[in-house]
Amino acid sequence: MSNQELEYKVLKWLEKNPNISQRQLAKELGVSLGKAHYLINSLIKVGWVKLDNFRRSDNKMGYIYLLTPTGMVEKTRITRRFLARKETEYQKLRQEIQQLKSEIESF
């Protein structure tokens, strides 16, 4: 999985689950905890994600990840590129399937 695809998935997960832990995110993405930490930090550094503290009812400190307005714009751009790439892959796969079906029919 490319870094751009991982960034897209991180932004998507953080938008839906802003209080997700890095450990949970790593599990959902199928990457190491270190990779999830690196991805989140890189998104914070470029200003796409903001990290805030919040208090849970048990008085432990927690964190919440919020997409910034810039992050929302970038997520939309990445989504468009991701969709275009997947549509191209889909069309190529459909062509390959059609060729395979033609080969089978010729037997």
Q: In terms of residue numbers, what domain contains 19?
A: 3-105
Asked if 6 and 43 touch (Cβ cutoff 8 Å), the reply is no
pLDDT at 53 over 80: no
Looking up residue 91, the CATH number of its domain turns out to be: 1.10.10.10
Does residue 44 contact residue 50 with C-beta atoms inside 8 Å? yes
Percent of the chain predicted with pLDDT > 90: 65
How many other CB atoms are found less than 10 A from the CB of residue 43?
A: 23
On the question of pLDDT at 28 being above 80, the answer is: yes
Three-state SS annotation for the chain: CCHHHHHHHHHHHHHHCCCCCHHHHHHHHCCCHHHHHHHHHHHHHCCCEEEEEEECCCCCEEEEEEECHHHHHHHHHHHHHHHHHHHHHHHHHHHHHHHHHHHHHCC
Mean pLDDT of 63-73: 90
pTM for this prediction: 0.71
What is the number of domains present in the chain? 1
